[in-house]
Amino acid sequence: MFIAKGIVYFGQPAVILCDANCAKAWGVNGRPKVQLSENEDDFAFLADGELGTAPEDPGTEEGGQRKPEYVADRLNKWCCRECERCVMARPNEEFQLKDFSVRRKNMGG
């Protein structure tokens, strides 16, 4: 299952999509991770099964909007720019949701 919303992003039509698992959405700046090397960008986000429930308010905002509190507010600016679960595609373009059942590396394979 996924949810989607058509938006205009920097003047271009786009669609944002996610798995609607907001209880596991920490935000890219808040999701717990493990460092894989001395390079600060070489890390892996922990898998959903390694984590508890994400905070209702991770303390971040985008364009004055925070993580949605209500289902009707999903796919707002926070989701588009901060949520690690959200992906963006062009209208009618194929997409792949992110799989957080396993650790997700930030760099490479």
Task: Note whether residue 40 is domain-resident.
Answer: yes
User: Using CA atoms, how far apart are residues 49 and 10, in angstroms rounded to an integer?
Assistant: 35
Domain extent for 83: 3-95
- pLDDT for the residue numbered 109: 59
Task: Note whether residue 31 is domain-resident.
Answer: yes
**How many CB atoms within 10 Å of residue 21?**
14
- pLDDT for the residue numbered 1: 82
Task: Note whether residue 107 is domain-resident.
Answer: no
Domain count, the chain: 1
- With a cut of 50, which residues of the chain have pLDDT below it? none
- pLDDT for the residue numbered 107: 83
Task: Note whether residue 109 is domain-resident.
Answer: no
